[in-house]
Amino acid sequence: MRFAFIAAEKAQYPVRTLCRALGVTRSGFYAWVQRPPSRRALADARLLAHLRALHAESHQVYGRLRLQHALRTRGVRVGDQRVRRLMRVARLVARGRRRFRVTTDSAHPHPVMANHLARRFHVRELNRVWAADITALPTTAGWCYLAVVLDLASRRVVGWATASTLETGLVLEALRRALATRPVRPGLLHHSDRGSQYASAAYQQILAAHGIRPSMSRVGDCWDNAPVESFFSGLKVEATPPEGWGSETRAAALVAAHIDFYNRTRLHSAIGYRSPVDFEATRRVSL
């Protein structure tokens, strides 16, 4: 494996330096280069090509577990240690997550609702629990605010909207899109934070008109809405370009592309390493 590492890195560093660092001889390395590759080496090369492709398709956010599950969906079964070894050789690592701006303003005169969800995030049926929240993306023109509505059973984004302000119209648009694409089932629970947008009379009236039961997180507790917080955290790592979000229009386009990728392609551990669309295809409900 040391010779394979040298072969992979010799374009960046002198062979002599790599051999010295790994405790092997140059003659041994060149003799290895001239030998025909073993069946194991050929299999590793094929597997590494799969890993590189899947890592790139995931926007470089898949770690070992998701890469293994993605391989299985393509009919390739491989052990943990082998994947670890090849990822280490190829330097395939998942991009890390960062903290971002808080957008919740709970200092308002509107009534707030009890936390009926109570962190019961494992939901078996679609359209039983929707979770909503807002986040902020820095653009060249200021903040671009994103509101989403997730179905907790499949973790699918069923409604979303962007705007340059935090006014109630932002969350109303995301909710209207969710209502336009999903049926409202009896007993549907809508969970959000205690922000003024969600507690507003306009928002609560739409929920009441559709027979939707509201639920709100406790003050200052982001874990009460962890699935949506996780979605936002992933978006800011996976969709943020190296040069930043750019204009508000470009940010909205990048968000749209990411949500399409998230819903249709990205594997989610909470639903058995499937995409939300694939997961919903297996559920026997009327959509």
pLDDT reported for residue 284: 55
Hey, what domains does the chain have and what are their CATH numbers? 2-90 (no CATH), 129-281 (3.30.420.10)
Report the alpha-carbon distance of residue 163 to residue 169 in Å, rounded: 9
| Nearest Cα residue to 203 out of 12, 193, 226 | 193
Report the alpha-carbon distance of residue 43 to residue 2 in Å, rounded: 17
pLDDT reported for residue 99: 45
Report the alpha-carbon distance of residue 217 to residue 227 in Å, rounded: 13
Phi-psi region of 251 (alpha: psi -120 to 50; beta: other; left: phi over 0): alpha
β-bridge partners, 145: 136, 163
β-bridge partners, 96: none
Length of the chain equals: 287
pLDDT reported for residue 285: 44
Contact 156, 277 (CB under 8 A): yes
pLDDT reported for residue 92: 67
pLDDT reported for residue 238: 85
Strands 189-192, 129-139: parallel, antiparallel or unpaired by DSSP?
A: parallel
pLDDT reported for residue 100: 45
Report the alpha-carbon distance of residue 243 to residue 25 in Å, rounded: 43
Report the alpha-carbon distance of residue 195 to residue 215 in Å, rounded: 12
Q: Tens-of-pLDDT digits for all 287 residues of the chain?
A: 677 778 778 777 888 888 888 888 988 888 877 776 667 766 766 677 777 776 666 666 677 677 777 777 777 777 777 777 767 766 766 665 444 444 555 545 567 889 999 999 999 999 999 999 999 999 988 899 999 999 999 999 999 999 999 899 999 999 999 999 998 988 899 999 988 899 999 999 999 999 999 999 987 666 889 999 989 988 988 888 888 899 999 999 999 999 999 999 998 888 988 999 999 998 854 44
Neighbours of 4 (CB within 10 A): 16
Burial class (CB within 10 angstroms; exposed 0-12, middle 13-18, buried 19+) of 276: buried
